[in-house]
Amino acid sequence: MTQTDTRVGPATAGPTPGRARPFWTTRRRDQLTGYLFITPQLLGSAVFVILPLVLVVWYSLHEWNVLAGTFDFVGTDNYQALADDPNLGAVLRATGLFSVGLVVFNLALALLLAVLLNQKLRGTILFRTLFFSPVVVSLVAWTIVWGFLLQDNGGLNSLLDTVGVDGPNWLRGEGTAMLSVIVVQVFKNVGLNMVLFLAALQGVPAELYEAAQVDGASRLRQFWRITVPLISPTIMLTSIITVVGSLQVFAQIAVLTQGGPGTSTTVLVYYLYQQAFQFHHFGYGATLSIVLFAIVLALTVLQWQMRKRWVFHES
């Protein structure tokens, strides 16, 4: 009596002439398992990413009067309105200013804090916790508290007053309002980037610094020649996250300045919200959201392409 060894399949024995190849091969079973694992994610992406994207494009071709209940096809009228919008320049300027300010301040401060807190000194754990704690605080609560601090007669100016400095009306000045919103956002999220930088710094081999010290390299030279190149993948990651996040800022603007004074802090997402939900121009709001999507996509692709130039190594 012979027994067929099913573990030795056609791959090793070769197909038996005149006998059908079994459908459920190991390869197919593995493929099915893989597809089943990613099905929830694919469904989620289809329903919550792809479909809304298609919907937004569809809405941008329509004039939707919510109150009147009308939904009329207008073709490219909303895109023409975009080209003719007198506010768009100011809005894009404010958006760019916020993004640049946030990225520069956030990454620089996060890296500085990470380098400082990477030292083997007493109390670093406490400081790491302190700097990270705003990340877990409710964004709106954080912003409201900062709103009080930044008032003309608020906490910050009272503090400045004690050292004889007459502080500005932070949220009312065209220049200081944007600076205030950036600073509030930097302090909110700097801890997250700081933790990522800390993790990267701890992955830099100590022997590289030792070798550099033997060669007589200064601390600053070590930082630029060893630290920055070796943590460049993390710099890349944090810059993408921060840039994308900066383009989506909303709650801070809504709570602190409502886009003012003038239109100095009216960033694209806030303008989109105004057009769609306050002015009831839902079609135009959809068109603006496509502009936002295009900007985010372009910047992300650009950053991804630039990694070849300045990211030291990638696995």
Partner 1 sequence: MRARKALRGIAVALAGALALTACGGGGGESADNGPAKLRMTVWSANEAHLKLFNEIADEYRKSHPDVAEIKFDPLPFDNYTTTLTTQIAGGNAPDLAWVFENSAPDFVASGALQPLDDTLKKAEGYQYDDLSPATLKLWQNDGKLYAYPFSTSPFGVFVNTDMVKKAGQKTPAELIAAGQWTWDNALATAAAAGAKSGKAGLVIRDFDYKGWDNLSTFWTGWGAQAWSEDGKTCGFNSPEMVEAMTTLHKATFTQKALPGPGTTADFFAGDSAMTVTQISRASLLKDGGFGWDLVPLPAGPKGNYAVVGQAGLGVMKKSPHAKQAADFLAFFTNPTNSAKLAQFFPPPRQSQLTAETLAKTNPKLKPEQLQKVVIDGITNGVVKPSHAGQAELSQQVRAGLDPLWQPNADVKAVLDGVCAKIQPLLAK
Q: Record the tokens describing residue 147, joined without a space.
A: 């709103």
Nearer CB in complex with partner 1: 66/297: 66
Considering only 51-59, 138-146, 186-194, 294-302, which stretch makes contact with partner 1 by CB under 8 A?
51-59
Q: Please state, in angstroms and as integers, the Cα–Cα distance from residue 56 to each residue in 71, 274, 283, 285, 291, following that order.
A: 14, 16, 8, 9, 11
158 Cβ neighbours under 8 A, 6+ residues apart: none
Selected from 153, 158, 213, 248, the binder of partner 1 by CB under 8 A is 153
Residue 258 near partner 1 by CB under 8 A: yes
Selected from 11, 13, 43, 51, the binder of partner 1 by CB under 8 A is 51
Selected from 11, 13, 32, 66, the binder of partner 1 by CB under 8 A is 66
Least distance to partner 1, CB of residue 25, Å: 25
Q: Please state, in angstroms and as integers, the Cα–Cα distance from residue 8 to each residue in 3, 13, 14, 20, 26, following that order.
A: 12, 7, 10, 16, 11
Contact 74, 61 (CB under 8 A): yes
Least distance to partner 1, CB of residue 171, Å: 6
Residue 277 near partner 1 by CB under 8 A: yes
Nearer CB in complex with partner 1: 71/224: 71
Half-sphere exposure of 247 (CA within 13 A, CB side): 20
Nearer CB in complex with partner 1: 180/234: 180
Cis preceding-peptide flag for 261 (omega within 30 of 0): yes
Residue 140 near partner 1 by CB under 8 A: no
Q: How far apart are CA 192 and CA 131, in angstroms?
A: 9
Q: Record the tokens describing residue 251, joined without a space.
A: 């709650």
Give me the 84-103 binding string for partner 1, x by CB under 8 A, dash otherwise.
Answer: --------------------
Sign of CA dihedral 59, 64, 70, 75: negative
CA angle 111, 113, 116 (to 5 degrees): 110
Judged on CB neighbours under 10 Å (0-12, 13-18, 19+), 134 is middle
Residue 274 near partner 1 by CB under 8 A: yes
Considering only 11-19, 68-76, 201-209, 292-300, which stretch makes contact with partner 1 by CB under 8 A?
68-76
Residue 225 near partner 1 by CB under 8 A: no
Selected from 151, 204, 230, 240, the binder of partner 1 by CB under 8 A is 151
Site for partner 1 in 8-47 (CB under 8 A): none
The binding site for partner 1 (CB under 8 A) comprises 50-51, 54-55, 58-59, 64-69, 71, 151-154, 169-172, 258-263, 274, 277-280, 282
